[in-house]
Amino acid sequence: MMTGKKILSTIGVVVALAVTMLVVHSCGIYSFTGTSIQPDVKTVTINYFEYQALKVNPSLSNELTVAMQDKFLKLTKLEQVDMDGDLEITGAVTGYDVKATSITANEQAAQNRLTVTVKISFTNRKYPEDDFSDKSFSAYADFAATESLDAVEATLCEDIIEQLCDDMFNATVANW
């Protein structure tokens, strides 16, 4: 059986939590996904990522564009529009490189690294002080030199795209 003090203490905790939740929700800027999107920002345009790297991966631009659109769809309430969104992301794949990362005693590659570099510009039509242009993001994945790039490329690109989207998302709407 609860005493009067315990009941008052429990009610106090519940009221404090309710007030905290109301204050956090009413601010309109903070969200539990880590974004800091102002409440009057309603739309986003994510343009197709052009492919400008020398080594060709024919599906990377499309996969990166779709992954970035999905990220915004899942983590924000912004409506995606084809043009002139309150927020706009334009970018290009500027690098797609494979290099040896570790060498054996016989001077042969033991491990290789696929690195993808993307350059983006971000426009915030409501808050232009958040704009930036030509900001580069790189992500990589390593694979054994005994494997061919063709055999592991799809899996590596999935991981790299996820890393790139996280970084670009954080730079644009999470202010990290």
DSSP string, 30-72: --TTS----TT--EEEE---EE--SS--TTHHHHHHHHHHHHH
The hierarchical CATH code for the domain 40-173 is 3.30.160.150
* Contact (Cβ atoms closer than 8 angstroms) between residue 114 and residue 154: no
Point out which residues pair with 124 in neighbouring strands. 87
Model confidence at 63, pLDDT cuts 50, 70, 90, reads very high
Q: Indicate the pTM of the whole model.
A: 0.77
Predicted confidence at residue 28, as pLDDT, reads 42
Cα separation, 69 vs 55, in Å, equals 25
Looking at residues 157-171, what average pLDDT do you find?
A: 97
pLDDT per position as a tens digit, 19-56: 444 444 444 444 444 577 999 999 999 999 999 999 99
